[in-house]
């Protein structure tokens, strides 16, 4: 009798053991598939976006601000602006006028990188600033805080370098500005003349002499914001 009473229990236990074994096999198979599959399109897109957003931090300064940047000259044809120097400071508040600091802070500005360039004729000096934000919406909000129409103040602070051709580029010498935005980056320029003449003393100035500054901004922005397709076989990627 005892054999008859325990037999169903043995059957149930055996069945449960079989079910568990099958479940374990399925789970192991799923885990193996997950570990060996390639990245999905969504994962590749996310990895590319994250890599783009980190460029301000991981790229060498000379890659963000090349020694020479091409631009279209006022008379036509291609010229090159030469880099005078790169700032070692990256804090957001030090890079802009006081009136803009609250907007950058509210948008969680991560850094503002600055470099100064000289045009081919060595008459115009331009400071290029790269402001990095957590996302595109933050960058767009700060863009709206800058004055429109190329007004240089309030704006990016001029970056001068003592004992160089840019040593007289001060806040008062700023005469024009430009803005460009893509992804989490806002690129701002401020421009003036090498002799440091105050903007208020210039009178009517043809704006085309500073137009090339926007070319510099676009060159820097394009390099920073153009997504790279992740290459799982490359040494710079981990998939």
Question: Could you read off the pLDDT of 53-100 as tens digits, one per residue?
Answer: 999 999 999 999 999 999 998 888 899 999 999 999 999 999 999 999
pLDDT for res 204: 58
- Taking the C-alpha atoms of residue 158 and residue 38, their distance in angstroms, rounded to an integer, is 48
Global pTM reads 0.78
Rounded average pLDDT per 10-residue block, the chain, 239 residues = 35 40 47 55 65 95 98 91 97 97 98 98 96 97 95 97 95 96 97 88 71 97 88 64
| pLDDT, tens digit, 9 for 90 and up, residues 122-142 | 999 999 999 999 999 999 999
* Sheet strand arrangement including 68-72: 68-72, 78-86, 111-118, 124-132, 185-193, 176-182
Sorted by sequence, the CB contacts under 8 Å of residue 92 that are 6+ apart come out as 101, 104, 105, 109, 110, 111, 112, 131
């Amino acid at each position: 009798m005892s054999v008859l009473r325990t037999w169903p229990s043995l059957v149930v236990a055996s069945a449960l053991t079989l079910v568990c074994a099958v479940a374990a096999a399925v789970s192991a198979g799923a885990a193996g598939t997950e570990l060996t599959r390639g990245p999905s399109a969504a994962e590749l897109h996310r990895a590319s976006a994250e890599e783009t957003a980190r460029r301000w931090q991981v790229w060498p300064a000379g890659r963000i601000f090349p020694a020479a940047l091409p631009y279209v000259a006022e008379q036509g044809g291609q010229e090159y602006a030469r880099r005078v120097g790169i700032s070692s400071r990256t804090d957001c508040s030090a890079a802009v006028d006081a009136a803009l600091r609250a907007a950058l802070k509210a948008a969680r500005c991560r850094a503002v990188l600055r470099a100064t360039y000289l045009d081919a004729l060595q008459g115009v000096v331009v400071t290029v600033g790269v402001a990095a934000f957590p996302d595109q919406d933050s960058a767009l909000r700060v863009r709206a805080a800058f004055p429109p129409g190329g007004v240089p103040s309030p704006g990016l602070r001029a970056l001068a370098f003592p004992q160089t051709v840019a040593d007289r580029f001060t806040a008062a010498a700023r005469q024009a500005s430009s803005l460009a935005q893509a992804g989490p980056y806002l690129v701002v320029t401020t421009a003036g003349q090498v002799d440091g003449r105050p903007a208020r003393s210039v009178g009517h100035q043809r704006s085309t002499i500073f137009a090339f500054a926007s070319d510099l901004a676009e060159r820097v922005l394009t390099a920073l914001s153009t997504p790279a397709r992740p290459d799982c076989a490359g040494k710079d990627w981990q998939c």
